[in-house]
Amino acid sequence: MSGISELWLVSIGRLTLAGLLWLGLCPGLSAQIRMELVGVKSAGSLSSVRQAQPGRQNAVWALSLELQVRLTNQGPEDAELAAAEFFVDSGGSLQRRRAPSGDGALELRTLGAGQSIEGKVEFLLLPWPDVAQGLMLKLGVEGQPENDTPKLDAEGRIIAQFASEPLCTLDVLQWTSQSSGLVTQRLGPGGALALIRTQRNLDVLSAWVLQQQFDQLLSNGAERVVVTSGVGSRLSVSDE
Residue 220 is assigned to a structural domain of this protein: yes
Residue 4 is assigned to a structural domain of this protein: no
Task: Give the domain range for residue 219.
Answer: 181-239
pLDDT at 17: 29
Asked which of 156, 176, 196 is the last residue of a domain, the reply is: 176
Residue 152: pLDDT band with limits 50, 70, 90: low
Residue 169 is assigned to a structural domain of this protein: yes
Check residues 233 and 96 and name the one with the higher pLDDT: 96
Residue 111 is assigned to a structural domain of this protein: yes
Asked which of 148, 176, 204 is the last residue of a domain, the reply is: 176
Share of the chain above pLDDT 90, in %: 37
Residue 90 is assigned to a structural domain of this protein: yes
CATH number at residue 62: 2.60.40.4110
Supply φ then ψ for residue 160, to 5 degrees.
-60, 140
* Residues 155, 65 share a domain: yes
List b or e across 138-152, with b for residues whose CB sees 16 or more CB atoms inside 10 angstroms.
Answer: bbbbeeeeeeeeeee
Q: What is the pTM of this model?
A: 0.72
Q: pLDDT tens, 163-182?
A: 788 999 999 999 998 888 88
* Residues 133, 65 share a domain: yes
Asked whether the beta carbons of 43 and 207 are under 8 A apart, the reply is: no
Supply φ then ψ for residue 177, to 5 degrees.
-65, -45
First-to-last alpha carbon distance for the chain, in angstroms, is 83
Residue 213: pLDDT band with limits 50, 70, 90: confident
pLDDT at 143: 74
Question: Above 80 in pLDDT, residue 154?
Answer: no
* Residues 148, 88 share a domain: yes
Give the span between the Cα atoms of 222 and 218, in whole angstroms.
5
Taking alpha carbons only, the member of 60, 28, 23 closest to residue 45 is 60
Which residues are paired to 193 by β-bridges? 187, 224
Please, is 169 exposed, middle or buried when counting C-beta atoms within 10 Å of its C-beta (0-12, 13-18, 19+)? Answer: middle
| Average pLDDT value for the chain | 77
The count of structural domains within the chain is 2
* Residues 196, 167 share a domain: no
Residue 52: pLDDT band with limits 50, 70, 90: very low
* Residues 38, 138 share a domain: yes
Check residues 153 and 235 and name the one with the higher pLDDT: 153
Asked which of 154, 176, 198 is the last residue of a domain, the reply is: 176
Taking alpha carbons only, the member of 172, 180, 175, 174 closest to residue 227 is 180
Question: Above 70 in pLDDT, residue 109?
Answer: yes
